[in-house]
Amino acid sequence: MSDLKELRFYTTPAHDCSYLSEQQATTLFLDPEERIDHSLYSQLSNFGFRRSGKHLYRPHCGQCQACIPIRIPAARAIPSKSQKRVLQRNRHLKYKMRPASFEPQHYQLYERYINSRHGDGDMSPPTQEQYESFLTSSWEFCHLYEFFDDEKLVAVSITDRLTDGLSAIYTYFDPDYARNSLGSYCILKQIEFCRDLDLPYLYLGYWIKQCQKMSYKGKYRPLELLIDNQWMELR
């Protein structure tokens, strides 16, 4: 186990927040020269860090604590009625797991997804360089799940394996399947994958109560929030 006190971290200058228009944000990054292994990544995830490409980071804003790390206790997760309908609607889909490496077919789907769903966001316009720096990784604990309708690729979930769970990094899907609620479906499947692997948690990144784009994360129960470096259940 790594000694976190010996690690080096850096903060970014204040910049416009991507989620709350009235706020300035600061991000804390692990020194990219630090050697990141499975144990260190898992420890930092337990303290609210996330992965973006080869970098581990967490919000470090002085006046705002709106970004709250959250996770789902997989063994106790209970789908709502609407979530059960999502599972039923997509019961015919198949999946495969593979390393989080670049594939042209994946990028083509990602490009369509961003242009259709997030054309006004900071990830638009998408580029292959942006995609690779954000979502691919050569670390052996970083994977992705491909979801297929027959032979057609309809969704990809980038999912990292930790010592105590899975970390849901990002999901993108075919815009033509909007009524299938594939974003929710992929989270529900990742909860199942945690159970199959006997891993206790699915880490969902950050939840901002005031941000409509993140409201979907609050629909899973039970849900644990990291408050003052302590995980506690949302009731």
- E runs forming strands in 46-164: 50-52, 55-59, 68-73, 94-99, 142-149, 152-161
Average pLDDT across the chain, whole number: 94
Flag whether 217 is in a domain: no
**Residue range(s) defining the domain that contains residue 181:** 80-199
Query: Do residues 33 and 135 share a domain?
Result: no
The total domain count for the chain is 2
Mean pLDDT of 36-53: 96
Burial of 148 per CB tally in 10 Å (0-12, 13-18, 19+)? middle
The tens digit of pLDDT for each residue in 129-144 reads 999 999 999 999 999 9
Query: Do residues 34 and 102 share a domain?
Result: no
Query: Do residues 192 and 94 share a domain?
Result: yes
Whole-angstrom Cα Rg for the chain: 17
Mean pLDDT of 136-155: 97
CATH number assigned to the domain comprising residue 103: 3.40.630.30
Q: Picking from 4-18, 116-130, 132-146, which range would have the lowest pLDDT averaged per residue?
A: 116-130
Query: Do residues 62 and 84 share a domain?
Result: no
Helices (H), 90-127: 104-117
Flag whether 75 is in a domain: no
Last residue of a domain, one of 41, 66, 91: 66
Mean pLDDT of 203-218: 89
Query: Do residues 188 and 88 share a domain?
Result: yes
